[in-house]
Amino acid sequence: MSEMANWQRRAVLKGLVGGIVAGATLDRAHAAPTVDAERAALETILDPSAEMKTLFTGGRWLEGPCYLPDLESLVFSDVKTNRMWRLGDDGSTETFRDPSENANGNVLDGEGRLVTCEHRRRQVVRQEPDGSITVLADRYDGKRLNSPNDAVLAPDGAIWFTDPTYGITQPEEGIPAEPEQSARRVYRIDPSGRLDAKTDTLRQPNGIAISADGRTLYVSETGGDATAPNGIVRFTIGDDGALADRQVFALYDKGVPDGLALDIEGRLYAGSIDGVRIFDEAGRPFGLIPTPKPAANLAFGGPDGRRLFVTATDSVHAIDLKVPGIEWRKR
């Protein structure tokens, strides 16, 4: 075992005992449980001997991990180098798309086609089986989108995505421009192709996830300040797709939440400055899986859906859990 592997194993074990103590300050409505309770809780989903493995390194800002079962591969974006990569289960790597239009989030649609959020072109696109690209959304109310960031598939086949301004305000992540939209929204692309704005109540919506039953939407708020802190917001999704019952799911007092994912038992995983923070269904801190550098995004995958892939700054890491992600319930 390499020194890096030893460090990673020690870090994960440390997370079993101490990670949730720091995380407990995130949700101020809940007190921190005891250390024994923390360990027992996290061990229900993570074996104490589990190792965080580094599968890829050398990127600049890695994002948008998405597992492709048919190719037994992970696709991910390097936003700042304007490239997408494919990482095989056998360890092979190859360029997937170059240039990528400063691609960020990726997700498979209900038919297994790759949907990508492009900062540079300010649009959401789908790759067809023949390799051609179809634009799913680039304008709302006749005006260009800001810079679509992250996307998720809902059980009804709709694609939801966030539209903050990072791709038009950060030169390395797109082309600087003044926003045409009056707000930074969360949108829904209906299977029919219709684009609907669902909420404009967040300052910089970022990561996004939807519960397995399609009734709950989670969004990372990364534009917070003293009056509206960064954190994760939860909405109820109605039968007509309307959002209601906006609630603060978890507050962050350090860094911001980024990409989100859910396991089949309803726990929420969030890319964070110190690694992957895990919350139970009530928003209580459940545990921490540390990463060497800040974690931007994450996705479940692998042969049985139990492998958690994490894009952490310049590297891709993976660790096998005891539970799969909800993506694998949909297939």
Concatenated DSSP letters of 169-186: HSGGGS------SSS--E
At 80, give phi and psi (nearest 5°): -80, -20
Cα 78 from Cα 61, distance rounded (Å): 5
Is the N-terminal amide bond of 324 cis, ω within 30° of 0? no
Residue that has been written with the tokens 């707000």 in this structure = 183
| Residue 228 pLDDT | 76
Alpha carbons 300 and 323: distance in angstroms, whole number: 10
Structure tokens at 93: 């790597």
Summarised one tens digit per residue, pLDDT across range 253-277 is 899 999 999 999 999 999 999 999 9
Q: Is the pTM of this model over 0.85?
A: yes
Query: Which of 254, 235, 209, 261 minimizes the C-alpha distance to 45?
Result: 261
Q: What is the pLDDT of residue 16?
A: 43
Residue with tokens 């891709």: 316
Q: CA nearest 63: which of 174, 150, 133?
A: 150
| % of the chain at pLDDT higher than 70 | 87
Q: What b/e sequence results for 235-251 when a residue is b if at least 16 CB atoms lie within 10 Å of its CB, and e otherwise? A: bebeeeeebeeeebbbb
- Residue that is written with structure tokens 């023949």 in the block: 130
Instruction: Sort strands 114-118 and 123-127 into parallel, antiparallel or unpaired.
Output: antiparallel
> 327 by DSSP, 3-state: which?
helix
At the fourth CATH level, the homologous superfamily of domain 3-330 is TolB, C-terminal domain (2.120.10.30)
Is residue 31 scored above 80 in pLDDT?
A: no
Calculate mean pLDDT across residues 93-120.
Answer: 98
Q: How far apart are CA 107 and CA 152, in angstroms?
A: 6
* Residue carrying the six token digits 């104490």: 48
